[in-house]
Amino acid sequence: MDNVSNPYTPSAGATPEALIGRDGQTEAFSVLLQRLGRGRTEQSMIVTGLRGVGKTVLLTRFAEIAERTGWEVIELEASKHDESAFRQSIFSKFRAALLHLSPRRRWGRRARHAAEVLSSFILSVDRSGTFSVTWDVAPSEGYADHGDLGLDLTDVFLAVGEVAREKGTGIVLLIDEIQFLTPVQLESLIQAVHKSVQKRLPITFVGAGLPQIAELAGDAKSYVERLFTFPRIDSLTSQEARRALVEPALAEGVIYDDDAVDLAVDLTHGYPYFIQELGYQTWIVAEHDRVTRNDIISAREAYVNKLDGSFFRVRLDRATQLQTAYMRAMAQLGPEPQRAADVAALMGRESPQVAPIRSQLIDMGLLYTPQHGYAAFTAPDFDTFMLRAVPVLDVPEIHRRRRRH
């Protein structure tokens, strides 16, 4: 069929034509904004899930809901960087939000105070004042100049949140990939939200990340479970997966045979990204406006090759030989979470020898720990890819550093 009319969107973070199976999360987010807007408290949320289940897509939908509600939206994607870069990102985004809420020529007392707090916040890492080329606002003494990220960020949240309340609106900070925040950065965000809740201000933070983020957040602040819910999104149910495949095609006048849908759901295991990829490849090979089981079969090779060459390969290419061997050993043991001791044994090594490799893979976002002593892949079906991509388990020597005498 004509690929211009292809309704499937197998791109990272691209919103599908039909967002299926996420009504609970979008409703909870809408309630959050409405309650905060009325000066009431409500738990915010940090969405967790594996790669390809639609966390980024869900944050995009949250942004759309907030914008329709009239809220200011600040979007960030976390990356591994130092406090200076983090502060600069926060400063830039909150400055833009403040200017949207209150153009400079209309600043009142609260807006000017918020601007001065932002100046103090960035000056703590930019003593040269290079930001002043476009922001010639004097810093506010005693605010956001503590030299402590948690205290400084709290001052920013409170000052800008006061402006939002004065304007009858709110601000939501949406951060993707929050597992890459440092412990200090995550703790500081939680601290800022906590104080904003106490002040009943219409400002909050909503995040999305890999499954380990719930544990990391709990380690950061003991009260986090009272501030946030941690909804886990996963593969779609069979019925939801059928809708995600069929409804976009139906909008283009194309229907699927029931046995074609059955096979597609079986091949994709209901993972949203996989459904989009298989739907996209099937659309290319199908010749008529009725998709058959044979069309799915014909598209299967291209579907697998595309996943292998992009979705999976970009993760494997980041790994060293030892890291690759560790993941290959995990895959050989099966798709379920694997005990560290079992992986080490299959590699012919002692657990302490390979523990640093496991930690590195977790830090890279390739593995997560569903329970103590176990690790699992963050990308669904990554085990089967590893068996295809690395047919033989080959464990290189682990060289120990010699002690200096």
When computed from its CA atoms, the radius of gyration of the chain, rounded to whole angstroms, is 24
| CATH code for the part of the protein at 320-389 | 1.10.10.10
Q: Which fold has domain 236-315?
A: Helicase, Ruva Protein; domain 3 (1.10.8)
In this prediction, residue 133 carries a pLDDT of 42
Q: Which residues make up the CATH 1.10.10.10 domain(s) of the chain?
A: 320-389
Q: Which residues make up the CATH 3.40.50.300 domain(s) of the chain?
A: 23-229
Q: For residue 385, what are the CA distances in angstroms to 52, 209, 298, 317, 321?
A: 15, 23, 20, 13, 16
Q: For residue 279, what are the CA distances in angstroms to 16, 91, 256, 282, 337?
A: 11, 41, 11, 5, 29
CATH 3.40.50.300 fits 23-229, yes or no: yes
Question: Would you say 35 and 42 are in contact if contact means Cβ atoms under 8 Å apart?
Answer: yes
- Cα–Cα distance between 282 and 287 in angstroms, integer? 10
* pLDDT tens by residue, the chain, 405 residues: 888 999 999 877 677 877 899 999 999 999 999 999 999 999 999 999 999 899 999 999 999 999 999 999 999 999 876 778 899 999 999 999 999 999 999 999 999 999 999 999 998 665 554 554 468 899 999 999 999 999 999 999 999 999 999 999 999 999 999 999 999 999 999 999 999 999 999 999 999 999 888 888 877 777 888 899 999 999 999 999 999 999 999 999 999 999 999 999 999 999 999 999 999 999 999 999 999 999 999 999 999 999 999 999 999 999 999 999 999 999 999 999 999 999 999 999 999 999 999 999 998 989 999 988 999 999 999 999 999 999 999 999 876 655 555
- Per DSSP, helices labelled H in 7-148 are 23-37, 55-69, 83-101, 109-123
From the CB of residue 259, how many other CB atoms can be counted at a distance below 10 Å?
Answer: 12
- Cα–Cα distance between 47 and 153 in angstroms, integer? 22
